[in-house]
């Protein structure tokens, strides 16, 4: 019943954690979530498969598929030179429009000028040691542009830690991100440190496309961040930038 009428959202109001950092619980419907999970499975099939980026020789515990631009520590390239050299898929038009709606939802206005050109799609599953993936404190600062980052979460809930722009330590605010939640950080919060210290396995809601007991077999958590790189578009092999 609560899923039908959205009663659970009464206990999880929209919240501005810091100036420019807005959490909107339950923003995507279950149908939208499941549809996006289907797209994630398509993106993961290539031309560039999901991979764990290596930082200082160590693989991250999340596996990432990139669209538009390929992110590798700590730069963006058109071709996935640290995977198989193939060019990444473009950011689909529906995802750009969804990002625009997200920014409009967070800040008001129509966000017509928001044109993200990169999407990083992270999958949090079980890593090689049997532990759930997580992500340490970091800033998203490889973009030249300071346009907001739009974050969409699907699948298992996680603990999301949103800090400050100065240090990777306190003060920070911990918030639970659940399947369907939107988080936007821009303006004075654009360069705030943030992390995913914990994912809670088995908490994905029925119908989101990632539910199931085994995060290794397609379960777990997906997070999409939309970004504006500020990099020059170079012509694609087919001619369209
Ligand atoms: O998974 C999340 O909620 C955050 C992901 C993130 O911070 C990133 O991809 O840079
Ligand atoms: Fe990040």
Nearest to 194 by CA among 171, 178, 226: 171
Enter the DSSP assignment of 126: B
**pLDDT, position 129:** 76
Helix (H) or strand (E) holding 182: strand 182-185
Tell me how many domains the chain contains: 1
Is residue 241 included in any domain, yes or no?
no
Average pLDDT (152-169) is 97
Give per-residue pLDDT as tens, 23-50: 999 999 999 999 999 999 999 998 999 9
pLDDT over threshold 80, residue 215: no
Is residue 237 included in any domain, yes or no?
no
CATH of the domain at 36: 2.60.120.590
- Mutational test site, ligand 1, from 189, 194, 227, max ligand atoms within 8 Å of CB: 194
pLDDT over threshold 60, residue 240: no
**129-135 own/partner pairs: CB under 8 Å, 24+ apart:** 131/61, 132/198, 132/199, 132/201, 132/215, 132/220, 133/60, 133/61, 133/62, 133/63, 133/199, 133/220, 134/61, 134/62, 134/195, 134/196, 134/197, 134/198, 134/199, 135/60, 135/61, 135/62, 135/195, 135/196
Residue 211 or 195, more confident: 195
pLDDT over threshold 80, residue 136: yes
pLDDT over threshold 70, residue 142: yes
Is residue 10 included in any domain, yes or no?
no
d(CA 59, CA 79): 19
Average pLDDT (139-165) is 98
Q: Which domain holds residue 178?
A: 16-227
Point out the annotated binding site: 138, 140, 194
- CA torsion sign for 15, 20, 21, 26 is positive
- Give 208's pLDDT tier (boundaries 50, 70, 90): very high
Residue 65 or 233, more confident: 65
d(CA 223, CA 65): 11
Nearest to 191 by CA among 171, 154, 163, 169: 163
Is residue 233 included in any domain, yes or no?
no
**pLDDT, position 159:** 98
Helix (H, G, I), strand (E, B) or coil at 177: strand
Q: Considering every ligand atom shown, identify the ligand nearest to the alpha carbon of residue 139 and give its number.
A: 2
Is residue 6 included in any domain, yes or no?
no
Give per-residue pLDDT as tens, 50-101: 999 999 989 999 999 999 999 999 999 999 999 999 999 999 999 999 999 9
Nearest to 182 by CA among 228, 150, 209, 222: 150
Would you say the ipTM is above 0.90? Answer: yes
Residue 105 alpha carbon to ligand 1 centre in Å: 20
For residue 142, what are its two tokens? Answer: 């490889």
Closest atom of ligand 1 to CA, residue 225: 9
> Ligand 1 atom 1: the closest Cα is on which residue?
223
Closest atom of ligand 1 to CA, residue 124: 1
Average pLDDT (215-234) is 86
d(CA 30, CA 76): 32
Average pLDDT (176-205) is 97
Residue 89 alpha carbon to ligand 1 centre in Å: 20
pLDDT over threshold 60, residue 235: no
Is residue 7 included in any domain, yes or no?
no
Nearest to 180 by CA among 199, 148, 201, 157: 157
Q: Considering every ligand atom shown, identify the ligand nearest to the alpha carbon of residue 183 and give its number.
A: 1
Point out the annotated binding site for Fe cation: 138, 140, 194
Bridging pattern class, strands 58-59 and 70-72: unpaired
Average pLDDT (175-185) is 98
CB atoms within 10 A of CB 184: 27
Mean per-residue pLDDT of the chain: 92
Is residue 62 included in any domain, yes or no?
yes
Closest atom of ligand 1 to CA, residue 151: 3
Is 135 close to ligand 1, i.e. is its CB under 6 Å away? Answer: yes
Give per-residue pLDDT as tens, 1-15: 456 777 777 789 999
Percentage above 70 pLDDT, the chain: 92
Is residue 159 included in any domain, yes or no?
yes
Residue 178 alpha carbon to ligand 1 centre in Å: 13
- Mutational test site, ligand 1, from 24, 66, 122, 163, max ligand atoms within 8 Å of CB: 122
């Amino acid at each position: 019943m609560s899923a039908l009428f959205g009663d659970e959202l009464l206990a999880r109001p929209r919240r501005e954690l810091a100036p420019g950092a807005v959490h909107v619980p339950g923003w995507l419907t279950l149908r939208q979530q499941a549809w996006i999970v289907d797209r994630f499975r398509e993106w993961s099939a290539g031309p560039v498969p999901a991979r764990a980026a290596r930082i200082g020789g160590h693989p991250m515990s999340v596996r990432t598929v990139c669209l538009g631009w390929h992110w590798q520590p700590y730069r963006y390239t058109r071709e996935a030179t640290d995977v198989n050299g193939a060019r990444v898929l473009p950011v689909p038009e529906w995802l750009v429009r969804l990002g625009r709606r997200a920014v409009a939802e967070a800040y008001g206005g129509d966000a017509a000028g928001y044109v993200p050109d990169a999407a990083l799609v992270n999958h949090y599953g079980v890593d090689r040691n049997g532990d759930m993936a997580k992500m340490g404190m970091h800033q998203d600062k490889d973009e030249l542009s300071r346009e907001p980052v739009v974050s969409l979460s699907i699948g298992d809930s996680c603990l999301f830690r949103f800090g400050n722009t100065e240090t990777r330590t306190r003060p920070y605010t911990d918030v639970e991100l659940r399947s369907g939640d939107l988080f936007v950080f821009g303006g004075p919060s654009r360069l705030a440190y943030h992390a995913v210290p914990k994912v809670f396995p088995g908490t994905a809601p029925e119908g989101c496309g990632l539910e199931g007991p085994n995060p290794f077999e397609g379960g777990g958590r997906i997070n999409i961040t939309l970004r504006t790189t500020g990099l020059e578009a170079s012509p694609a092999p087919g001619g369209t930038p």
